[in-house]
Amino acid sequence: MADLIRINQFTKHYVMGETIVRALDGVNITIKEGEFISITGASGSGKSTLMHLLGCLDRPSAGEYWLDGDLVSHMSDKQLAIVRNKKIGFVFQTFNLIQRTTAVDNVSVPLFYARQARVKEPSLRALERVGLGHRAYHTPSEMSGGERQRVAIARAIVAEPKIILADEPTGNLDSRTGEQIMQIFHELNRAGVTVIIVTHEMAVAVQAQRVIAMRDGRIIEDGGIDDAFRARMLGQERTAASLPERSPPMARPLQV
Ligand code: ADP
Ligand code: MG
């Protein structure tokens, strides 16, 4: 499979008065089309910053980003917005829905931005794909957390992006509901969508094919995982509720 994402010496610095926060400090990642990746790391390690940059919501302070053959790190805001609309769907921990608007209208938002003529049909189809066809005309305020997240996923996939970026998508859900949300990501991945999920939860992280662990704006581990590794990690989770700050070595280091 072709490289879908390639970032080279990715750096993001925030100037805060006298100090510089190195949110990302020279990150290199290559991601192939169709991968399912989880990103883990302690709070403040740079996960959300990385997701923002991967999602073309912001540009790096330094470094290059190749997305689907285009050098997007040097594009204008306008060009970035077009790429983002076409290629990327976002899912957030807090759903980010418009509370008083129906599910189907929430899902339509990216199609309006893309100035697509037909919005209703694809939006209803996206809701059906996440099992919420019957709730299309309800508002998020009438829905459970799991249903809200499914609306957010429908919104993320309505324009048929190649990539789904999800920043702690199960963080506000109970584990059973979180598991249902993960099943939707698995189905999307089986259909060919590249899925990248940030998570603190070991049970979520090990569902990916590859785990990237971050600390202090850098990658400290990046490797493919197998069933033996999964079983070992889930065994450990009985004693530790969340990921250790430094992940253990991956079972099968990825060839770079
Ligand atoms: P994570 O998602 O892993 O918790 P973040 O990417 O949100 O980490 O943050 C990484 C570091 O960058 C933290 O030290 C955070 O305080 C800092 N940071 C993130 N966004 C900004 C910003 N807009 N301005 C200044 N500092 C920021
Ligand atoms: Mg974060």
Instruction: State the 10-residue block means of pLDDT for the chain, 256 residues long.
Output: 91 94 97 97 96 95 96 94 94 94 96 88 97 97 96 97 97 94 97 96 94 97 89 71 48 43
Q: Can you name the CATH fold of 3-237?
A: Rossmann fold (3.40.50)
Q: What is the pLDDT of residues 122-147, one digit of tens each?
A: 999 999 999 999 999 999 999 999 99
Q: For residue 82, give every residue at least 6 positions away whose Cβ sits within 8 Å of its Cβ, in sequence order, or none.
A: none
Closest approach atom of ligand 1 to CA 52 = 6
> Interior CA angle at 96 toward 192 and 38, to 5°?
40
Look at residue 231 in the predicted model and tell me its pLDDT.
Answer: 86
Kindly report whether the global pTM for this prediction surpasses the value 0.85: yes
Residue to mutate, 11, 13, 18, 21, ligand 1, most ligand atoms under 8 Å from C-beta? 21
Look at residue 237 in the predicted model and tell me its pLDDT.
Answer: 63
Residues with CB under 5 A from ligand 2 (ion): 47-48
How would DSSP label each residue in 16-46? Answer: ETTEEEEEEEEEEEEEETT-EEEEEE-TTSS
